[in-house]
Amino acid sequence: GEDVEQSLFLSVREGDSSVINCTYTDSSSTYLYWYKQEPGAGLQLLTYIFSNMDMKQDQRLTVLLNKKDKHLSLRIADTQTGDSAIYFCAESSTGGGNKLTFGTGTQLKVEL
């Protein structure tokens, strides 16, 4: 079955880069997503990558995908206090009826 894992916490200083990692098990994953959740809010779609790509850049965000190792990462350049939130990795597969399988979420804390 599908399984998605993330580390629980990450603490960085303002201005540094943050790298949030994710591993997944489903080799039939077609799309991989990163969502951001702020306290009391829903999920904000940050970016996503198709499984035949290995990198995608969108302003301060860079997604790297290593399909062989089933490893996905999200790099946030010049991290700001407003980036403090929980970040979820999610995957969807053609056999999953388009449902998303989420990781546990990584709580990012940005310190001054």
Shortest distance, CB of residue 14 to another protein, whole angstroms?
27
Looking at the Cβ atoms of 50 and 78, the one nearer to another protein is 50
**Least gap, CB of 27 to another protein (angstroms):** 16
Q: Which residues contact 70 (CB under 8 A, 6 or more apart)?
A: 23, 24, 25, 27, 29
Residue with token string 């880069």: 17
> Is the CB of residue 21 less than 8 Å from the CB of residue 6?
yes
Tokens of 91: 């995957």
List residues near another protein by CB under 8 A.
30-31, 33, 35, 40-45, 48, 88, 90, 92, 94, 96-105
Shortest reach from residue 5's CB to another protein, in Å: 11
